[in-house]
Structure 1
Amino acid sequence: MHALSLSHVSFSWPDGRPLFNDLTFALSPGLSGIVGRNGIGKSSLLRLAVGLLRPTAGHVERPARLAYVPQSVTLAVGDTVASVLGVAERLAALRAIEAGSSDAAHYEILADDWLVEDRALTVLRSLGLGTLTLDRAVGEVSGGEATLLAIGAALIAEPEVLLLDEPTNNLDAHARDLLAAALATRSGATAVVTHDRALLAAVDRIGELRERDDRTTELRWFGGALHEFEASLAAERAAAEQAVVTASADVSRQHRDLRARVEGDGKRRQRAAKAKANAEVTRGGVKAKQDQAAKTEARVSKVHEARLERAREALATARAAIPRDRSIKLDLPGTTVPQRRAVTEIRGLVTRTETPLTALIQGPERIHVTGRNGSGKTTLIETLLGAVAPVSGEFAVHVPVGYLPQRLDVLDDAASVLENVRRRAPGATPQEIRDQLGKFQFRGAAAEALAGTLSGGERFRAALASVLLARPEPQLLILDEPTNNLDFESQSQLVQALEGYGGALLVVSHDQAFVDAISPTRRWSLENGAVRDEQLS
C-alpha cells in the first residue's frame, strides 16, 4: 500500500483557472524529487497533498503521520529549540522524573520515550546543528538554521510521509550535504520539491510537472536520479526533432505527389482535347469520357490533398513537441571594464561579523563569496551596497553598481515590464528597451504585462533585465544566492545572461553547479570571522 495517493484529482483556482485535471499518482517509499518550471504548480501540489488546498474533484488518501515543511519557515523567536522540535514537554517530564518526581502525569507525558533527549540531539547533529542546545532561543538562530530546525522537527516525529518544499534554499554546502544524507537514509516516503542538483543526484525517482495542451499541469515520473532524468529528456528531445524531420519529409513527398497528379491531369486533358479535334471518337463519347475523367481527377485530387493536409498537421504536432528555445543571448558592451581598472577598493573594512578585510577588485573579476550560514556573507554585501554601516574601515566603489537580491524585490508590481526597465534606464528610448527586452523573451505585448501578474520565471527575467539594462550600465554586479527558487530553465538563462556581461561580478552562492558555470577567478571564504582571499585563475 502507498501511504499517500491522489486519485483523479482536479483543482481550479477561485477565478476558475484550472491547474490540475484528473491527476492520479501514489508516492512510493524512498526519496522522490519533484521538479518543474517556476509557477507550474509544485508548491500547490504539496499543499493539495497535505490538505491546505481542497481539490475540486477526486480524492486524496493521507497517512496517519504526515509532515510538511513549506518554503518559508516562520518560528516564534521566543520558543526554544526543544519547543520547535516538539520535545519540550517530554524533556521537562524527563527532568522532573530524574529529579525524583513520582507524579503520574510526568510518566504519561514521557510515554516511555526515555531517549527523547538523545534522539533530539542526534537529529540536530545529523543536520549540522550540533552546536545548538535544546534550551537555546530560536531568535538567536539564522534563517538557514531555522529551516533545518523545522525539518528536524519533522524527522523526530518519524512520519510515514515527509513533504519538503525547496528545503536547501539558504543552506550552505555542508548543510545541504548533511540534509541530503539524512533524507536518503530516512525510512518511509519523502518527496522534495527542489532544483538543487546535488540533492536531485541522491533521489530514487523524479516527478516532472509540465503543462499539457489544455493548459493544465500533468505529473510524469522518471526512475533514477538527476542524470537519468536528464538523459530521458535528451532522448525525448532527440526523438521529437527526428519526428520533425520525418514529418517534413512526408509533407514534401505528399506535395510532390499532388503536383505530379495535377500535372498528369493536365496532360490527360490535353490528349482528350486533341482527340476531339481529330474526331477520333464521337461527340457523345468524348463528352462521356471527359465527364468520367473529371470525376476521377476530382476524387483522386481530394485524396492527395487530404494526405498533404494530414502530413502538414503531423508536422505541426511534431514541431509543437519540441521545447521552445528560451535562451538569453546578450551583448552588453557598456558593462565592460578594462583589466586593470579599479572597481572597488576596500581598506581595513570591519563589519559586524568579520575581522578587517583589505582588498582591491579590478576589471572583470568574478568573485565567489562563500561561507557557512551565519558567517556574514549578506552583511558584507549590504555593507558594500551602503545599506549597513561598517564597524570600522573604509571602502570606495568607482563604477555603477547593479544588485539582484534573493527576493527579486526590485520590481514595481503595479508597473509593466517595460516601465520597470525605463525607470532604471532614463536615457534609453522605448524602442531601444523593447529591442533588449526581446532578448529576455519579452516580445510585443509581453513587455506591457504588469510585473505583479508575472509567473516566477517571468519575474526573474524581468528583474534581471531591470538590473542589467540600467543606465548607466552596471560595471559591478552583486548577486545574493541568485539561483534560490529558480527552475533549471531560469538557472540556464542567468548563466547565459552573464556570458554577455563584461564587468566585475560578486556572487554569494552555495549552488556549486552555478558557481562552476560562471567560472569565478577569485574566492572570498568567510570562516571564523575572517575573510580568506584566494586567487583561482
Structure 2
Amino acid sequence: MTHTHLTLDDVSYLLPDGRVLFSHLNMRFHAQRIGLVGRNGVGKTVLARLLAGELRPSAGRCLRGGTTHYLAQRAGAPRGDTAAGLAGLQAPLDALARIEAGSVDARDFELLGDRWDLRQSLEREWRRFGLGHLRPETPADALSGGEAARAALCGAILSDADFLILDEPSNHLDRNQRQALIEQLSLWPRGLLVISHDRRLLAGMERIVELSPQGLASYGGAYDFYAEHKAQEQARALQTLEQRKQERLRGQRALREQQERQERRQARGERRGREANQASILLDRQQQRSEDSAGKLRRQQAAAREGLDQAVREAARRAEDDAAVVVHALPQGRALPRTAIVLDEVELPFAPPATRRVGLSLGGGRRIGVLGPNGCGKSTLLKVLAGQLRPVAGRVRSPAACAYLAQDLDGLDPSRGAIEQLLALNPAARESRLRMLLAQLGLDAERAARPCGLLSGGERLKAALAYALYADPPPQWLLLDEPSNHLDLPSLQALEAMLRGYRGGLLVVSHDEGFLDALGLDGWLTADEGGWRLLDGAEWEKRVINQAWF
C-alpha cells in the first residue's frame, strides 16, 4: 500500500519575469489535516499547484505518494461542460450510466470503482451546500460563480484522492455551508491541505504550515496554537532588533574611540619626528607607515560598520516579515445626519420573492451586519444603496459620501496599477502618502505599480480596499460586501481594528462569524423566508441562542 505523502525536495520557483517567488523549500506533508497560511502574494497557490502536479518547479522535486485532487479558488469548466464536470465526476458518472445500460467494459468498472451510489452521493452533497436544484447534466455555464465553486467543492469531497488540496474553500459559502464544510472535512479520512484565512476552518486542522519569505515553518497544532506561537516569535523578533540596534550603537561608539586614539597617536608621532629634526627621508617613511596603518584601520572599521548594519538589517527584515499590516483610521467627514439611509417600499431586482421587498430606515453611525443565505439579495441590497443598481420600485436615500466595496472587486481597472487608480481618485493628495498607505496594506512599490489584473486575489482586495477607503472626501458610510474574502490573516486583523475605530456608518455583508464578532456591531439585518428583519443586539443574541436563523 502506498504511504500517502506530499514532499518538497529543495523546491524553488521562478515567475515568468524571472523573479524568485520562493527557493529551497523542504517539507513532508503526511496524511493529516493541514492548514497552509501566509501573506497575500507569498506564493501559497503556486505551492499548492506544485504539490498537486499542475506546475513544475524551477528547481528541486515535488514527490507524491498517492493521488491528489486540487480545487482552485476559482472553479471553471470548458464551454459546454456540465455541473458533474465541474465536480470532476463526469467520467465516473458516464461509466456508471454505461454499466447500467449493459456495458461490461473493464475500463468503465475501473473508472467507477466501488462508488455505485455516486449519483445519489453527489446530489446529497449538493443539497448540503444549497445546490439541491442541480443535476449532473445541468450546463456549467448556467451556474453563478458561487454555485460553480460549491459544485466543484462537493466533487472534491466525494473524490477518491489520497490527498485533497483545497484553495480557499470557504469563500462563497454562507454560514450553514461553512459549517457543513467544517463537518465534512473533519470526517475526511486521508490527507488534506487547506489554504485558508478562515479561522473557524483552521481551528479544525491538526497542523498549521506557514509560507513566508523565509521559507516554510510548521506549527504542530491548530490555529490557536499557531497564533500564540506567532505572537511569541514577533515579540522575540522585535526584542532581537532592539538588541542589534543597541549593539550597533556600542560598536559605533567603540569604533569612533579607536579612530580618535589612532589620530592622536599619529599626531604625536609626527610632532616627535619634527622635534627630533629627523632627515626628510625618514620622516617620509614614517608618514607612509602611519598612512598605511590609518588606511588599514579605516578598511577594518568600514567592514565592522557594515557588519553591524547588516545585523540590524537582518533583524529588521525578520521583524518586518511578521509585522502587522496597517489599515489607517479614516478621517471623519461631515457630521452624520440623524437619518442616513432610507429604503421606502423598495423592490430589489433579481432577489427571490421572500426578500424582494425591503423597508429600512437607519440613523447615521449605525453599525449593521447583513446576514442571510447565498442568493437572498444581500449583495443586491448594497448595490442599490451604492447606486450601482436601480430598484424595480420604491424610493432610496443614501449618503453621497459612501464607499462601496463589491464582492467581485469590479471597481478596479485590471489594466491599471493600484497607485495610478488611487492618484486619480485623490488628485490633490501627495503620491508619497498614497504609496505609504498602500505599502502599509502590504502592497510595496512594485505591486502598487503592477496592473491589478496581475495581482493575487488577496492583493487585488487590498487595492480595492484602498480605493474604497482612502477616497476624498472621506466616506461617511462604508458598504462592504464580503471584505474578509481573500485577505490574509494579518490583513484581516488590521481591517478589524480599523473598522472597530471607524465612527461613520457601517453596513457589512459577511459569512465570517469571527470577523463580524470583532467589529462591535449594534444591529443585524437578516434575510430569510420571512423577509428582511432589523434586529438590535439583544434580539440577535436571543435568536442565536435559539438557533432560529437561516
TM-score range, shorter chain: 0.7 to 0.9
Where does residue 186 of structure 2 map in the other structure?
184
Where does residue 240 of structure 1 map in the other structure?
237
For 1:77 and 1:146, locate their aligned partners in 2 and report how far apart those are by CA, in whole Å: 14
Aligned-residue offset at 1:198? 0.9
Q: What letter corresponds to residue 244 of structure 1 in structure 2?
A: L
For the pair 1:332 / 2:331, whether they are aligned, the reply is: yes
Q: Deviations over 1:480-531 (max 9, x none)?
A: 1111111123323433543564432211111122212222221111111511
Where does residue 39 of structure 1 map in the other structure?
41
Q: What letter corresponds to residue 318 of structure 2 in structure 1?
A: A
Q: Per the alignment, do residues 198 and 337 of structure 1 end up closer, same or farther by CA in structure 2, a change over 3 Å counting? A: farther
Q: Per the alignment, do residues 387 and 190 of structure 1 end up closer, same or farther by CA in structure 2, a change over 3 Å counting? A: same
Of stretches 166-175 and 253-262 in structure 1, the one that deviates more from structure 2 is 253-262
Of stretches 342-351 and 163-172 in structure 1, the one that deviates more from structure 2 is 342-351
Aligned-residue offset at 1:435? 3.2
Q: Per the alignment, do residues 422 and 253 of structure 1 end up closer, same or farther by CA in structure 2, a change over 3 Å counting? A: closer
Aligned length: 519
For the pair 1:318 / 2:315, whether they are aligned, the reply is: yes
Q: Per the alignment, do residues 267 and 415 of structure 1 end up closer, same or farther by CA in structure 2, a change over 3 Å counting? A: closer
Aligned-residue offset at 1:161? 0.8
For 2:85 and 2:415, locate their aligned partners in 1 and report how far apart those are by CA, in whole Å: 43
Q: What letter corresponds to residue 195 of structure 2 in structure 1?
A: V
Checking the alignment, whether the CA contact within 8 Å between 2:75 and 2:86 is kept in structure 1 is no
Checking the alignment, whether the CA contact within 8 Å between 2:4 and 2:163 is kept in structure 1 is no
Q: Deviations over 1:316-354 (max 9, x none)?
A: 3222221165413234222x543x522111122233321
Aligned-residue offset at 1:57? 2.9
Q: What letter corresponds to residue 462 of structure 2 in structure 1?
A: R
- 1:197 is aligned, of 190, 196, 199, to 199
For 1:225 and 1:82, locate their aligned partners in 2 and report how far apart those are by CA, in whole Å: 34
Checking the alignment, whether the CA contact within 8 Å between 1:124 and 1:152 is kept in structure 2 is yes
For 1:78 and 1:59, locate their aligned partners in 2 and report how far apart those are by CA, in whole Å: 34
Local SS of the residue matching 1:243? helix
Aligned-residue offset at 1:303? 7.1
In the TM superposition, what are the counterparts of 1:389-468 in structure 2 within 5 Å?
389-425=390-426, 428-431=427-430, 434-441=432-439, 450-452=451-453, 454=455, 456-468=457-469
Aligned-residue offset at 1:31? 0.9
For 2:172 and 2:243, locate their aligned partners in 1 and report how far apart those are by CA, in whole Å: 47
In the TM superposition, what are the counterparts of 1:361-380 in structure 2 within 5 Å?
361-380=362-381
Aligned-residue offset at 1:171? 0.5
For the pair 1:49 / 2:48, whether they are aligned, the reply is: no
Local SS of the residue matching 1:190? strand
Checking the alignment, whether the CA contact within 8 Å between 1:342 and 1:398 is kept in structure 2 is no
In the TM superposition, what are the counterparts of 1:99-138 in structure 2 within 5 Å?
104=104, 109=109, 113-116=115-118, 119-120=121-122, 123-124=125-126, 127-129=128-130, 131=132, 134=135, 137=138
Q: Per the alignment, do residues 366 and 296 of structure 1 end up closer, same or farther by CA in structure 2, a change over 3 Å counting? A: same
Over the matched positions of the two proteins, sequence identity in percent amounts to 31
Local SS of the residue matching 1:167? coil
Aligned-residue offset at 1:398? 4.2
Of stretches 101-110 and 230-239 in structure 1, the one that deviates more from structure 2 is 101-110
Local SS of the residue matching 2:33? strand
Q: Deviations over 1:387-437 (max 9, x none)?
A: 444344332224333211122232234445444234434xx4253x65355
Local SS of the residue matching 1:228? helix
Where does residue 215 of structure 1 map in the other structure?
none
Q: Deviations over 1:344-383 (max 9, x none)?
A: 1112223332153221121111211111122221222233
Q: Per the alignment, do residues 172 and 299 of structure 1 end up closer, same or farther by CA in structure 2, a change over 3 Å counting? A: same
Q: What letter corresponds to residue 53 of structure 1 in structure 2?
A: L
- 2:70 is aligned, of 68, 71, 75, to 68
Q: Per the alignment, do residues 410 and 142 of structure 1 end up closer, same or farther by CA in structure 2, a change over 3 Å counting? A: closer
Checking the alignment, whether the CA contact within 8 Å between 1:371 and 1:525 is kept in structure 2 is yes
For 2:273 and 2:93, locate their aligned partners in 1 and report how far apart those are by CA, in whole Å: 108
For 1:434 and 1:25, locate their aligned partners in 2 and report how far apart those are by CA, in whole Å: 41
For 1:58 and 1:269, locate their aligned partners in 2 and report how far apart those are by CA, in whole Å: 57
For 2:316 and 2:85, locate their aligned partners in 1 and report how far apart those are by CA, in whole Å: 57
Local SS of the residue matching 2:340? strand
In the TM superposition, what are the counterparts of 1:287-302 in structure 2 within 5 Å?
none
Checking the alignment, whether the CA contact within 8 Å between 2:7 and 2:26 is kept in structure 1 is yes
Q: What letter corresponds to residue 18 of structure 1 in structure 2?
A: V
For the pair 1:510 / 2:511, whether they are aligned, the reply is: yes
Q: Which runs of 5+ in 2 are unaligned?
A: 539-550
Question: TM-score, normalised on structure 1?
Answer: 0.81
- Greater Cα radius of gyration, structure 1 or 2: 1
For 1:183 and 1:446, locate their aligned partners in 2 and report how far apart those are by CA, in whole Å: 35
Of stretches 12-21 and 297-306 in structure 1, the one that deviates more from structure 2 is 297-306
Where does residue 231 of structure 1 map in the other structure?
228
Q: Per the alignment, do residues 111 and 472 of structure 1 end up closer, same or farther by CA in structure 2, a change over 3 Å counting? A: closer
Q: Deviations over 1:9-35 (max 9, x none)?
A: 333233333323333322211111111
Where does residue 469 of structure 1 map in the other structure?
470
Aligned-residue offset at 1:204? 1.1
Structure 1 vs Structure 2 CA RMSD: 4.1
Q: Deviations over 1:66-114 (max 9, x none)?
A: 21111111357873669945464466468x5xxxx87756996576644
Q: What letter corresponds to residue 360 of structure 1 in structure 2?
A: S
Q: Per the alignment, do residues 49 and 278 of structure 1 end up closer, same or farther by CA in structure 2, a change over 3 Å counting? A: closer
- 1:175 is aligned, of 177, 180, 187, to 177
Where does residue 168 of structure 2 map in the other structure?
166
Where does residue 545 of structure 2 map in the other structure?
none
For 1:297 and 1:102, locate their aligned partners in 2 and report how far apart those are by CA, in whole Å: 96
Checking the alignment, whether the CA contact within 8 Å between 1:82 and 1:88 is kept in structure 2 is no
Aligned-residue offset at 1:169? 0.5
Question: TM-score, normalised on structure 2?
Answer: 0.79
Checking the alignment, whether the CA contact within 8 Å between 1:347 and 1:357 is kept in structure 2 is yes
Q: Which runs of 5+ in 1 are unaligned?
A: 213-217
For the pair 1:481 / 2:478, whether they are aligned, the reply is: no
- 2:16 is aligned, of 14, 20, 39, to 14
Local SS of the residue matching 2:193? strand
Aligned-residue offset at 1:384? 2.9
Local SS of the residue matching 1:412? coil
For the pair 1:381 / 2:379, whether they are aligned, the reply is: no
Q: Per the alignment, do residues 106 and 254 of structure 1 end up closer, same or farther by CA in structure 2, a change over 3 Å counting? A: closer
